[in-house]
Structure 1
Amino acid sequence: MRKIATVLAALCAALTLVLPAGGTAYGQAGPGRLAVRGADVSSLAKSEALGGVYRHANGRRGDALAILRDAGVTHIRLKVWVNPADGYNTKTQVLAVARRAKALGMGLLIDFHYSDSWADPGKQNKPAAWASLPFDQLRQAVYDHTFDVLGALKAQGTTAEMVQIGNELNGGLLWPDGRYDNWPGMAALLNAGYDAAKAVSSATKVVLHLADGADNGLYRWWFDNAAAHGIRYDVIGLSYYPYWHGTLEAFQANLNDVAARYAKPVLVAETAYPFTTGDDDGWTNIITSAEPYPGYPASTGGQSAMTRTIMDIVRAVPGGRGLGVFYWEATWTGVPGNGWDPADPSSGNGWENQALFGFDDRALPALRTLGTG
């Protein structure tokens, strides 16, 4: 009985962790459902500004966020860049999209890149405005930027439930000051972000997010070092793209191991899968294989099946520590001008065959799978 009570307590804590304030029906996990059934919609504001259209599965045109909500999506994820070339993914758009999402009863995960463009395992470039700052001023810039965005969200009544301090932190952030070979520097920068988030709202949960979600050696090395250097956080976030990051079995083993080893909830912050090998914007797709992962074709059925499998794996994490899944860039359809490079309006996105809306702008079956997971 004691063991059962412990498991139930952990599950309740996990659900409380991420429910939107005032929890609507869309924020409830329900029997066997994940508390977080989320979609990254960082590209949505620009898509809509450039004429992007979104439709329900039956073809009826609608608001993209409402379509997600109606399918059962509980949370959205929005990235934040400091001073991007195109002016998108800044505080201005985050505030506007957050208002819409919260009005629909959805929760919010804010993803700070601490860069003017993409931050990931291969690059963690400082924003141009921070490039020459001495370390103490760089740490203060992290605090001030984090506090500014999250404070503005709170002031308009849309406090974030979760926040990522950095994006895909395999090698650290804000290189070289917070690189993997300078753990004291990394710890100081990450803790500055943590402190800013908690100063705005002690209820906001801080996520530390790595890529390569099936690489247990990476996760043990990183989070062991995080513990040794006093890095503070609440949730372990993972990217898992099955065509890049290893087998589903290795992913499951890593999730289970890190949840137990560090006694933290785990969250898939990014995943996706193609519904076609076709192209809709004249820009070469990133994933072109007819079967990117064995047994899961690049089809609407394959996309839905892979989404279901990943959600099932998260749901099965022992102790109720599997919080949920965010599908990455669910609304990034082939809209001209809304490409990868914020400095180049002619670039395409290479991702439209992995969105949760088809080339006819209709919601795909995998959206329903995500929302009912």
Structure 2
Amino acid sequence: MRRRTLLAAPLAATAASLAARVPAAAAVGPRIRGADISFTLQHEAIGTTYRDGGSAAPVERILAGRGANYVRLRVWTAPPAGYSDLADALTLARRAHQAGLRVLLNLHYADFWADPGKQPVPAAWAGQDLNTLAATVRAYTRDAVAAFERQGTPVAMVQVGNEITGGMLFPLGEVYRDDGEHWSEFATLLRAGIEGVYAGQGGNRPLVMVHIDRGGDNAGSRYFFDHVLAQGVSFDVIGLSYYPFWHGDIAALRANLDDLSTRYRKDLVVVETSYPWTLANGDSLGNFVTSAGQLPDGGAYPATPAGQAAYFERLREVLAAVPGGRGAGFFAWEPEWLPGVGWAPGEGNPNDNLTMFDWSGNALPSLAAFRAGP
């Protein structure tokens, strides 16, 4: 999730290996049920309190109590003070492990926000040629993964890049340029990141996810993964962002997941999704979703607490129906990001009506989606 500019369009893990990274009880529901909670420390710093059934608890404890088994933690290389850096992710990983949650590490390879329209090279890496930049990516990834190992909280899965639909580390790793498409350079950097994951691992190899933003776009998804695989890139899990107010009706997501499962025989995770529980705005910055006309499926899921819960129930159903049992699960994006913490210093929050807690920090019905059972 971010301010968007959309672009034009060694060993694969089996479903059994993915299932080994989640509790056995999860087999009756999505194997992965998680949330990105990267703004948590910033909210706690301003005194935000989260409650479920009237009882206050850290957000990761509330999620675990509702059946979640993963958190996703974002890492920027040199963000503004207080935003998601490696030290913050390590702190949240300790808490997640104490709550019985596994960690998906989301490496942006950028000082701050990276998304399909912008993948800026960190300032400290500027001016490097392709081979040098690949070596930097490899070493950075190795050291990040190893840091979680050293503190006794090994990551279960790693995202090598964030929504890398058009490449990563622009301009060297940018696919779509004025003179054509540059898949080889992008693949060089992507492979370097994957090699870094393996170099930093401990006793258990983390799964590697490649993440794009085309949850409702089957042609765009095929185009990307056909080209990446043609470059010899080996990875385990396909990650997709699916925001129905941007990416279309749920039928488009289902068609895409079904086709990708059959075509690539890899596990699929909807690694970013959210849905409004209100059309009101909790701060002075305009929200991403402001009208019922932006909602999918002819308004089948209204912007109410009950409508939000119904959306997540439908998402669970879609994942359960993916051929081969490869609809592995989902991550809600920043369900705890309430008004009071901006997307950048001095800014507001365009996501504050897409949370799974109301603006007083009380749990909404949609948290039921994290349950292990049917």
**Scaled by the length of structure 1, what TM-score is found?**
0.91
Q: Does 1:354 align with 2:359?
A: no
Secondary structure at the aligned position of 2:246 is classed as coil
- 1:162 maps to amino acid: M
Instruction: Tell me what 2:70 maps to.
Output: 75
Secondary structure at the aligned position of 2:71 is classed as strand
Q: Does 1:368 align with 2:368?
A: yes
- For structure 1, the residue ranges without an aligned partner over 5 or more in a row are 1-8
Q: 1:12 aligns with which of 5, 10, 16?
A: 16
- 2:342 maps to amino acid: G
Q: Does 1:36 align with 2:32?
A: yes
Q: 1:332 aligns with which of 329, 337, 348?
A: 337
Residues 158 and 28 of structure 1: is their aligned pair in 2 closer, same or farther, counting only changes over 3 Å? farther
**CA displacement, residues 124-162 of structure 1 (integer Å, 9 cap, x when unaligned):** 111111121222221111112111111010111111111
Moved more, 94-103 or 281-290: 281-290
Q: 1:52 aligns with which of 48, 54, 65?
A: 48
Contact 1:10/1:321 (CA < 8 Å) preserved in 2? no
Secondary structure at the aligned position of 1:152 is classed as helix
Q: Give identity over the alignment, percent.
A: 40
Aligned pairs for 1:84-233 within 5 A: 84-180=79-175, 181-201=181-201, 203-233=205-235
Instruction: Tell me what 1:4 maps to.
Output: none
Q: Does 1:305 align with 2:307?
A: no
Moved more, 353-362 or 131-140: 131-140
Deviation at 1:10, TM superposition (A): 6.0
Q: Does 1:317 align with 2:319?
A: no
Contact 1:274/1:353 (CA < 8 Å) preserved in 2? yes
**CA displacement, residues 172-192 of structure 1 (integer Å, 9 cap, x when unaligned):** 100111111221111111111
Q: How far apart, CA to CA, are the structure 2 residues paired with 1:63 and 1:14? A: 27
Superposition misfits of 4+ residues, deviation over 4 angstroms? none
Residues 28 and 157 of structure 1: is their aligned pair in 2 closer, same or farther, counting only changes over 3 Å? farther
Secondary structure at the aligned position of 2:221 is classed as helix
Count of residues paired in the alignment: 351
Contact 1:14/1:320 (CA < 8 Å) preserved in 2? no
- For structure 2, the residue ranges without an aligned partner over 5 or more in a row are 1-12, 176-180
Aligned pairs for 1:20-31 within 5 A: 23=23, 28-31=25-28
Q: How far apart, CA to CA, are the structure 1 residues paired with 2:27 and 2:210? A: 26
Contact 1:240/1:270 (CA < 8 Å) preserved in 2? yes
Contact 1:209/1:236 (CA < 8 Å) preserved in 2? yes
Contact 2:15/2:267 (CA < 8 Å) preserved in 1? no
Q: How far apart, CA to CA, are the structure 2 residues paired with 1:52 and 1:146? A: 32
Contact 1:296/1:302 (CA < 8 Å) preserved in 2? yes
